[in-house]
Amino acid sequence: MNWLFVLKVTLEVIVVILSIMLTALILMHKGKGGGLSDMFGGGISANAGTSGVAERNLNRITVFVALLWIAIIIGLDFMVKYGLGA
């Protein structure tokens, strides 16, 4: 089996996993108010549970996962464009 094919499949699996992680990380962020979360009572508890340090760390992790996700997608695009891993 071609090692580039194995690399391509591995990167595709990693992109799926990172997509799920990125969705979960974005949903964990504190709402800024005025949205659907406030209509259903989310605005009351949103201010009580999050500290500044935890929110900053969540932001950093989200940005890191998003940049990794973008880099892998660009790498997969180059593999498809140049016919590698077919």
pLDDT in tens, 55-83: 899 999 999 999 999 999 999 999 999 88
Q: What is the pTM of this model?
A: 0.74
Confidence of residue 50 (pLDDT cuts 50, 70, 90): low
Structural domain containing residue 58: 7-23+53-85
Q: For the stretch 37-74, what's the b/e string if a residue is b when 16 or more beta carbons lie within 10 angstroms of its beta carbon?
A: eeeeeeeeebeeeeeeeeeeebeeebeebeeebeebee
- Beta strand residue intervals within the chain, DSSP E: none
How many domains does one find in the chain? 1
The answer to the question of residue 67 being in a domain is: yes
Give pLDDT, residue 52.
84
Task: Report residue 80 CA to chain centroid gap.
Answer: 22
Asked if residue 62 is part of any domain, the answer here is yes
pLDDT at 83: 82
